[in-house]
Amino acid sequence: MPVYRAPLDDYRFVLNELLELDKQRDLPGFEDLTPDLVEDILTNAGKFCEEVLHPINQSGDEEGAHFENGVVRTPKGFKEAYKAYSEAGWGALMAPAEYGGSGMPTTITMAVAEMAMAANQSFAMYPGLTGAAYGALLATGEPWMKEQIAKRMISGEWCGTMCLTEPGCGTDLRLMKTKAVEQPDGTYKLSGTKIFISGGDHDLTDNIIHMVIAKIPDADGHIHDDLSTVNFFMVPKFLVGEDGKMGARNGVTTGGIEKKMGIKAQATCVLNFDEAKAWRLGPKPTPAKPGEKRSASAGMAGMFGMMNGARLGVGIQGIAIGEIAYQNGYQYVHERRVGHALTGPKEPDKPADLEIVHPDVKRLLLHAKSFVEGARALAMWTTINMAVARSKRPEAEQAGLLADLMTPVLKAFCTDQGFEAANNAMQVYGGHGYIRDNGVEQFVRDGRINQVYEGANGVQAMDLVGRKLGRKGGAAPFALFGQINGWLEENGKDAALEPFTKATKRSLDTLQTATLWLAQNGLANPNNAGAGASDYLRMMGITMLAWMWARMAKVAQAKLATNPPNAAFYKNKLTAAKYWMERMVPECPMLLERIQAGAETVMEFE
């Protein structure tokens, strides 16, 4: 049976000692965020994830979601767990207080989300997607929608989805065929097929609110292969009146659930919309004038707002899968005996030493630990920047740019590394990891989807290189490089920190060189940017975690100087920090060489 323990000690370290959360009380949503409140939320969320969600993770995977006679049912225990989750208020944690939520900032809600995703990714996706959906509704919906629908999603009475992908249209939304035809009363009749819809249908709630993108035909009834008429719509499974009363079944039916590699307890559905009643969210599109270039519709903003939140959430899932995989690998190597230590038996009276004595086993686990804890710090640092961006601080604009820059990095780098951590954990089990009984192979299967959905990781890399770097004249990377260089200058004379500052500087210098090369050569030949984008994103991920580890090493060294009772915790921090500097930062020069190779050879391939 797999194990899971909420990483509360590490969250206390990141939030209280590294980011000093109590000093952020001037930020929106942080005003009442006392240390006691944070401790209460994290402790109770951790307990819920350990005792309610984790015990049905493996059984839910084995049973899977069911589709019979057009009806979708979740595995045994999921309905009861969802009811308990909603009654405890976990789904309402981030919602505004005026709509029945707790108004907690993203820093707290993402911490809780990580624990839920680690304990049971399939389950956590149901309320997670509901949060993205009600967030979009609160941002773009009519007042009656916020009052009568969003509130019921926040309470957990109803769930929500994101309906984007179609059989012939994934990332390239220009190819989308789903259409929405306006009716005299201002609503729309929406028709088309959406696939891969997580939580698309289930038995957890009586109603499901679908957030759908579709094209509005022009005056002649034509759908254009561009983004000019793509709009955002609310389509309930059961109709809802402006008075909040639930009516007849809408024109939405489930065509089936996908037979997937992982997250089998998550009902990933094919949804068929047949003139379903839909409400447009956001402003009505303005037809292009004769000769005018057609541009993306205003309705796309709501969809991208929802998508960016989902991408951050998926990055958190990468951290989560790395955490639970690491925990199980760590436990196993302290139980399994195999061979003797290379320097001689550690336990001569035993037939073999514990597996943990072997250097390569330590390497596999330390790689996972250094990623998970470094990425957790980066994610929390990013959520602080998101809050600063909404504040009145003078650095608000810069913080917003930094958070925007980190979104594709967190989504892609964290899911790549999370999957690698799951593979590493499976490796330390040997053949026992490949069989289902021990549960670690589920983490590999579940974690693989995180690299694919909400924009595959190659798409995230192109977003970083093609959009984020050059926005506002390169303001975001300049701001980032300035912050890291400033910290290095401030701490450069600390001899104890030299192993960390020196390696971080090496990584940063390489990243700056790569940024300049892409700016020069990517513009001259866009294929150069495309061929080097994934390597560049990985380099930025390595650099950002190097900086996070350097900062954590400083905190750990200061704490160890006080002889704390939990000194082992801080010593392990320094070990993980050194690992990242010694084993990951050296990748950066290699990645730079690959980027500078350009696109010629890649593009020769037919």
CATH at 127: 1.10.540.10
Same domain, yes or no, for 146 and 165?
Answer: no
- Do residues 117 and 249 both lie within one domain? no
User: 413 lies in a domain?
Assistant: no
Domain CATH for 264: 2.40.110.20
Look up residue 485 and give its two tokens.
């260089």
Alpha carbon distance 44, 8 (integer Å):
10
CA distances 10 to 94, 430, 570, Å, are 22, 28, 10
Let me know whether 140 and 181 are in one domain: no
- If asked whether residues 13 and 141 sit together in one domain, one would say yes
**What is the pLDDT at residue 282?**
84
Residue 202 lies in a domain: yes
Same domain, 165 and 150: no
| Co-location of 192 and 241 in the same domain | yes
Could you tell me if residue 402 is inside a domain? no
Query: How does pLDDT run across 295-325, given as a tens digit for each residue?
Result: 555 566 666 677 778 889 999 999 999 999 9
**According to the model, what pLDDT value does residue 127 have?**
96
454 is annotated as an active-site residue:
yes
Residue 203 lies in a domain: yes
> Tokens 């009380």 map to which residue?
25
Q: Do the domain assignments include residue 274?
A: yes
The answer to the question of residue 294 being in a domain is: no
Q: Which two tokens stand for residue 546?
A: 């190097």
Find the farthest-apart pair of alpha carbons in the chain and give their distance in angstroms, rounded.
88
Express each pLDDT in 195-235 by its tens digit.
999 999 999 999 999 999 999 998 888 888 877 788 999 99
Q: Can you give the pLDDT at residue 306?
A: 74
Handedness of CA 74, 76, 80, 81 (dihedral sign): negative
Exposed/middle/buried for 290, CB within 10 Å: 0-12, 13-18, 19+?
Answer: exposed
Q: Is residue 393 part of a domain?
A: no
- Across residues 530-534, what is the average pLDDT? 97
Q: Structure tokens of 317? A: 């899932």
Which residue range forms the structural domain that includes residue 579?
466-606
**Res 523 pLDDT > 90:** no
Q: How many CB atoms lie within 10 A of CB 256?
A: 16
**Which of 287, 304, 334 is a domain's end point?**
287
CA distance 158 to 131: 11
Q: How confident is the model at residue 373 (pLDDT cuts 50, 70, 90)?
A: very high
- Considering the candidates 114, 258, 441, 454, report the single residue annotated as catalytic: 454
State in Å, rounded, how far the first CA of the chain is from the last one: 48
Give the E-state strand segments of 86-164 in sequence order.
159-163
Q: DSSP string spanning 282-296?
A: SPPPPPPPTTPPP--
pLDDT of residue 288: 59
Last residue of a domain, one of 259, 287, 315: 287
pLDDT of residue 289: 62
Is residue 606 located within the same domain as residue 480? yes
Q: Are residues 148 and 254 in the same domain?
A: no
16 sits in the region (left: phi over 0; alpha: psi -120 to 50; else beta) called alpha
- Asked if residue 350 belongs to a domain, the reply is no
Same structural domain for residues 509 and 470? yes
Number of domains in the chain: 3
- The whole-number pLDDT of residue 463 equals 95
How far apart (Å, rounded) are the C-alpha atoms in residues 141 and 554? 46
Same domain, 477 and 563: yes
Q: Which helix (H) or strand (E) holds 256?
A: strand 252-257
Is the pLDDT score of 534 beyond 70?
Answer: yes
- Domain end call among 287, 311, 329: 287
pLDDT digits over 152-186, tens only?
999 999 999 999 999 988 888 888 899 999 999 99
Averaged pLDDT for residues 513-531 = 95
The pTM is what? Answer: 0.96
The arithmetic mean of pLDDT across residues 374-382, rounded, is 98
83 and 181 both lie in a single domain: no
Task: Verify that 92 and 71 share a domain, yes or no.
Answer: yes
